[in-house]
Structure 1
């Protein structure tokens, strides 16, 4: 099973209930199970999206938005989600997250990124573009540009929905 990046958009109350469950449970079981339609699997796209932005000359504010959207921050208390035996990220770094205002900021900046134009700024030759991006594991089925556009659109839409619903975003690698 490949380790991929996961994101969940959740209400503050859900996070508080999971934290309370972990504290009340003798083995720290937090009962983390966000609804499937509020979880996004970004595969290995985060680093590739950021690198494509760098190569294509995306400005610092929008690059930072991509970083925050895929790395999160440590503003949320998520230690209980990283505690054995119920850790949600047993193969990666500790879970991170973004609060409601940070989600809104990131969503607004992602919404201003013109990904088709950014991808058009990459070298026309697929092999050359892949070389600059630094693919891990070889060529991507369907092509680099299609992969990046699909995952960027999913990320942007995910954050837009989270911002509109005033939700937190929790990120982890699983």
Structure 2
């Protein structure tokens, strides 16, 4: 099973309930189950965009923005859920524990994503699917149009963060 980048939009109150559930549960289960409409799976597309940006010498601030959007903030602690996350939510042995972005960070990220000129980032993407997939580190088995794949998932993340900003939500990120 391939690893994929996951996102969830949740309120601080929801996180507090999950923390309390983890503390009260004999198996430290956070009761994590956000509505499907507040979940996003971007596969490995954003990692591919980050690899492309690094290989083409894109603005380091854009790379840092994309890294932050997929990783969360270093001090973004999911609290009592962190210890039980891998066993209760993630399905792979090598799953990466979650990151958290608070509503203030979400507003900043959403505004910054709106300023990203995706066309400029994709300008140096090779025309050949095989070469473009290699630059994005998608692997030899990638099947599809790389530019469209990157665009579709970047737009989805941008819209996801916009909605979270409008509703003053947190975003939890993880790899599953």
Q: Same fold (TM over 0.5)?
A: yes
Q: Which moved more, 1:164-173 or 1:54-63?
A: 54-63
Q: 1:80-135 deviations in whole A, cap 9, x for unaligned?
A: 33434853235312111111111111111111111123212323333333332222
Question: Contact 2:70–2:173 (CA<8 Å) still a contact in 1?
Answer: yes
Residue 137 of structure 2 is aligned to residue 123 of structure 1: no
Residue 131 of structure 2 is aligned to residue 98 of structure 1: no
Unaligned runs of 5+ in 2: none
Q: Work out the CA distance in 2 between the residues paired with 1:67 and 1:111.
A: 16
Once the two structures are superposed, the pairs formed by residues 58-97 of structure 1 within 5 Å of their partners are: 58-84=58-84, 86-91=87-92, 92-97=95-100
For the residue of structure 2 that corresponds to 1:47, the secondary structure is: helix
How many residues were matched structurally?
173
* Residue matched to 1:47: 47
State the Cα RMSD in Å: 1.9
* Residue matched to 1:140: 142
User: Under a length normalisation based on structure 1, what TM-score does the superposition of the two structures give?
Assistant: 0.89
User: 157, 160, 163: which one pairs with 1:161?
Assistant: 163
Q: Work out the CA distance in 1 between the residues paired with 2:133 and 2:3.
A: 21
Residue 121 of structure 2 is aligned to residue 107 of structure 1: no
User: Under a length normalisation based on structure 2, what TM-score does the superposition of the two structures give?
Assistant: 0.88
Question: Contact 1:140–1:147 (CA<8 Å) still a contact in 2?
Answer: no
Question: Contact 1:56–1:119 (CA<8 Å) still a contact in 2?
Answer: no
Cα distance, 1:68 vs structure 2? 0.3
For the residue of structure 2 that corresponds to 1:43, the secondary structure is: coil
